[in-house]
Structure 1
Amino acid sequence: MKIGEFAKKSGVTVKTLLHYDKIGLLKPSEKTDSGYRIYCEEDLLKLQQITTLKFIGLSLNEISHILHESGENLENMISIQKKALEEKKKHIEAVIDVFNKAQNTAKKNGFLDASNLIDIIKVTNMESRVREQYKTDKNLNIRSNLHSYNVNKIDFDKWCFNQMNFSLNANVLELGCGTGKLWFKNKDYIENTLNITISDFSRSMIRIARNRLKDVYHDFHYEEINAEEIPYNDETFDIIIAQHMIYFVPDIEKALAEIQRVLKPNGVFYVTANSCNSMKELNRLSENFAPNSGLDNNGYSERFDLEHGRGMLEKYFHKVDVEILDGKIIVDKAEPVVSYKASTIQGSSILIGEKKKEFTKYLEEYIKKNGDISITTKTCMFKAMK
Structure 2
Amino acid sequence: MGYNKIVGVIILEGDPKEFYSVGEFAKKAGVTIRTLRYYDKIGLLKPCGYNSLGYRLYSKQDFGILQKILTLKFIGLSLDEIGDIMKYDINDNDFKKSLEIQKEIIGEKIQHMFTVIKAIDETLQMVEKKDALNWDKFINVINLINLDKKWLEQYKNASNLRARINLHERFSTNKEGWMHWFFKQLNLPGKINILELGCGDGSLWVKNLDRIPKGWNITLTDFSGGMLKDAKKNLANYKDRFNFNIVDAENIPYEKEGFDVVIANHMLYHLNDIDKALKEINRVLKKDGYFFASTVGKNHMKEMRDKIRLVDESMLELEGFTLTKKFQLENGMEILNPWFNNISMKRYKDSLKLTEVTPLIDYIFSMPGNIEERFNKYKLKKLENILGDIIKDKGYIHITKDTGFFIGRKKQLL
1:223 matched to which residue of 2? 245
2:277 matched to which residue of 1? 255
2:333 matched to which residue of 1? 310
CA offsets per residue over residues 30-64 of structure 1, 9 Å max, x none? xxxxxxxxxxxxxxxxxxxxxxxxxxxxxxx9x98
Q: Given the superposition, is the C-alpha separation of residues 70 and 200 from structure 1 closer, same or farther in structure 2, using an over 3 Å criterion?
A: farther
Question: Counterpart of 1:259 in structure 2: which amino acid?
Answer: I
Determine if the alignment matches structure 1 residue 365 to structure 2 residue 389: yes
Match for residue 376 of structure 1 among 369, 389, 400: 400
User: Contact conserved, 1:279 with 1:298, CA < 8 A, in 2?
Assistant: no
In the TM superposition, residue 72 of structure 1 has moved relative to its aligned partner by 9.7
1:145 matched to which residue of 2? 166
TM-score by length of 1: 0.66
1:205 matched to which residue of 2? 227
Match for residue 334 of structure 1 among 341, 351, 357: 357
In the TM superposition, residue 371 of structure 1 has moved relative to its aligned partner by 3.3
In the TM superposition, residue 218 of structure 1 has moved relative to its aligned partner by 4.4
User: Contact conserved, 2:167 with 2:363, CA < 8 A, in 1?
Assistant: yes
Aligned residues: percent identity?
34
Does 217-226 or 196-205 show the bigger shift? Answer: 217-226
Question: Counterpart of 1:365 in structure 2: which amino acid?
Answer: D
In the TM superposition, residue 226 of structure 1 has moved relative to its aligned partner by 0.5
Measure, in 2, the Cα distance between the counterparts of 1:326 and 1:24. 47
1:171 matched to which residue of 2? 193
CA offsets per residue over residues 51-81 of structure 1, 9 Å max, x none? xxxxxxxxxx9x9889636669769985996
Measure, in 1, the Cα distance between the counterparts of 2:215 and 2:204. 18
In the TM superposition, residue 301 of structure 1 has moved relative to its aligned partner by 1.4
Determine if the alignment matches structure 1 residue 246 to structure 2 residue 268: yes
Measure, in 2, the Cα distance between the counterparts of 1:268 and 1:283. 34
Measure, in 2, the Cα distance between the counterparts of 1:279 and 1:179. 23
1:319 matched to which residue of 2? 342
2:291 matched to which residue of 1? 269
2:92 matched to which residue of 1? none
User: Contact conserved, 1:192 with 1:218, CA < 8 A, in 2?
Assistant: no
Does 186-195 or 236-245 show the bigger shift? Answer: 186-195
Q: Given the superposition, is the C-alpha separation of residues 218 and 358 from structure 1 closer, same or farther in structure 2, using an over 3 Å criterion?
A: same
1:289 matched to which residue of 2? 311
In the TM superposition, residue 345 of structure 1 has moved relative to its aligned partner by 1.5
Measure, in 2, the Cα distance between the counterparts of 1:192 and 1:208. 23
Q: Given the superposition, is the C-alpha separation of residues 320 and 260 from structure 1 closer, same or farther in structure 2, using an over 3 Å criterion?
A: same
Measure, in 2, the Cα distance between the counterparts of 1:381 and 1:174. 14
* Structural mapping, 1:87-126, within 5 Å: none
Does 192-201 or 360-369 show the bigger shift? Answer: 360-369
Question: Counterpart of 1:313 in structure 2: which amino acid?
Answer: L
User: Contact conserved, 1:179 with 1:209, CA < 8 A, in 2?
Assistant: yes
In the TM superposition, residue 374 of structure 1 has moved relative to its aligned partner by 0.6
Contiguous gaps of at least 5 residues in structure 1: 1-22, 26-60, 85-130
* Structural mapping, 1:13-162, within 5 Å: 68=113, 135-147=156-168, 148-162=170-184
Measure, in 2, the Cα distance between the counterparts of 1:363 and 1:69. 46
Question: Counterpart of 2:345 in structure 1: which amino acid?
Answer: V
In the TM superposition, residue 185 of structure 1 has moved relative to its aligned partner by 0.9
In the TM superposition, residue 258 of structure 1 has moved relative to its aligned partner by 0.7
In the TM superposition, residue 269 of structure 1 has moved relative to its aligned partner by 0.8
Contiguous gaps of at least 5 residues in structure 2: 1-74, 78-105, 120-135, 147-151
Determine if the alignment matches structure 1 residue 180 to structure 2 residue 202: yes
1:350 matched to which residue of 2? 374
In the TM superposition, residue 368 of structure 1 has moved relative to its aligned partner by 2.7
In the TM superposition, residue 142 of structure 1 has moved relative to its aligned partner by 1.1
Aligned-pair Cα RMSD in Å: 3.3
Measure, in 2, the Cα distance between the counterparts of 1:257 and 1:72. 44
Question: Counterpart of 1:345 in structure 2: which amino acid?
Answer: P
Question: Counterpart of 1:276 in structure 2: which amino acid?
Answer: K
